[in-house]
Structure 1
Amino acid sequence: MEHMSPGTDAHQQRARSPDNVGSRQGFNRARGAVVVVVVWGGASRLSLRGWAVLSPAPRPPACCRPPAPLPAHARAPCRCPPLSCVLLGLAMDTSPALPAFLLCSALLLIKMYVVAVITGQVRLRKKAFANPEDALRHGGPQYCRSDPDVERCLRAHRNDMETIYPFLFLGLVYSFLGPDPVVARLHFLIFFLGRLAHTVAYLGKLRAPTRSLAYVLAQLPCASMALQVAWEAARHL
């Protein structure tokens, strides 16, 4: 049996003492608990990560969700203006004289419709029809005839077509040449008043030269616009 030094014997005795044995066992238990906690934490993270992959994503609250699309029958109608209105608005912004031209043109066309209605009423009152079937319906074939008053109305209507249709073309082109708005409105107003006076003089059988003066008065702005349109066209050749 080997001889043990007094220092080594004392060290072994201290290691076998109850205090040292208890502290060593407590340290081992603490180390085992730490290992269990680490393993449990890793397993928990893996299980949570797998659950997050397998489970659907949580829905946001109702206040954060985008509104569901409405069905077709519940949608409000489109309030956008039509293309024709947009183009007309752009044209009026480009040409300040265009609204006055459109107003005079509409009034002149209405006047032509009125003359056509007056012609029909005069035919019925005078019983002077141009077609045999109309005469048979209103009394007999003897009423298929001409009448001076009906012919007067027809001549007034033809004169309107001979002068108003050229005005519609000249006035439209003239409006986009950039004329002074006051001068352009004066052109349109003079033509409208001249044609109105001409129709009244024609149908009312006013004394000459009332009708001729009204005709010449209406032709003056047309001649002016025609010259300006021709000048601008020739200048850009």
Structure 2
Amino acid sequence: MNLLTMENPVFEVYVIAAAIMALKIMLQGWMTVFRMLKSNSGLASPEDLQKGLINKDPNPKQLEINDYVDRSRRMHRNDLENIPAFFAAGLLFVVVDPALWLAQLLMFGFVLARLAHFAAYATKQTHEVRATFYTIGSLIVIYMAAHALWQALT
């Protein structure tokens, strides 16, 4: 059986989990834009102060850090630091043909950990709460990568 087709249930699990995570990354960017527009602040670059259809009354204060906007930007950066590793490790995990139950546990576990991390960050939970969800997701990616490496070496 070709492992990278929808006939492989493990690949199907990966496709679902990876698609959810791709949407998470992209929607987080849109959340940041929404927050910038809503607060009329938190712009990232000096050229953003040019007058235009959206920014009709530019003000240098728009470049000041706004926690409402910056919190979303930090969540986005965190996604960009973690989710691409899942894309790679998850695909490597698929090609070593693990048990379906294990793939479901790990891949959907990663998705749940990232969504819980988002909820914790968005609701200003303590670092320990966020770190717990980060750690769960990180250990899942490390396990999948190590499992794939082990299978390749043995």
Which TM-score band applies after superposition, normalised by the shorter structure?
Answer: 0.7 to 0.9
Q: Which amino acid aligns with 1:140?
A: P
Contact 2:32 2:73 in 1 (8 A): yes
Give the corresponding residue for 1:114: 27
Aligned counterpart for 1:154 among listed residues 73, 84, 104: 73
Q: Choose 1 or 2 for highest CA Rg.
A: 1
CA 1:172–1:125 in 2, change beyond 3 Å: closer, same or farther? same
1:201 alignment counterpart: 120
| Rounded Cα–Cα distance in structure 1 between residues aligned with 2:11 and 2:152 | 19
Identity of counterpart residues, as a percentage? 29
Residue deviations 1:92-126, cap 9 Å, x none? 33x33000110010011111111111101111222
CA contact (8 A) 1:167 1:222 kept: yes
Unaligned 5+ segments in structure 1 are 1-87
Greater relative contact order, per chain length (Cα 8 Å cut-off, separation 6+): 2
Instruction: Say what the alpha-carbon RMSD is for the aligned residues.
Output: 1.9
Partner secondary structure for residue 209 of structure 1:
helix
In the alignment, the residues of structure 2 paired with residue 223 and residue 89 of structure 1 have an alpha-carbon distance, to the nearest angstrom, of: 21
Q: What TM-score does the superposition give when structure 2 sets the normalisation length?
A: 0.86
Deviation by residue 1:38-77 (Cα, 9 ceiling, x = unmatched): xxxxxxxxxxxxxxxxxxxxxxxxxxxxxxxxxxxxxxxx
Q: Please tell me the residue identity of whatever aligns with 2:33.
A: G
Alpha-carbon distance, 1:130 to partner:
1.7
Q: Deviation at 1:89?
A: 9.2
Classify 1:144/1:175 alpha carbon distance in 2 versus 1 (closer, same or farther; 3 Å).
same
Contact 2:3-2:95 at 8 Å conserved across structures: no
Q: Does structure 2 conserve the Cα–Cα contact (< 8 Å) formed by 1:132 and 1:141?
A: no
- Count of residues in correspondence between the two structures: 147
TM-score of the aligned structures, taking structure 1 as reference length:
0.57
Q: List structure 1 runs of 4+ shifted beyond 6 angstroms.
A: none
Q: 1:145 to 1:230 in 2, by over 3 A?
A: same
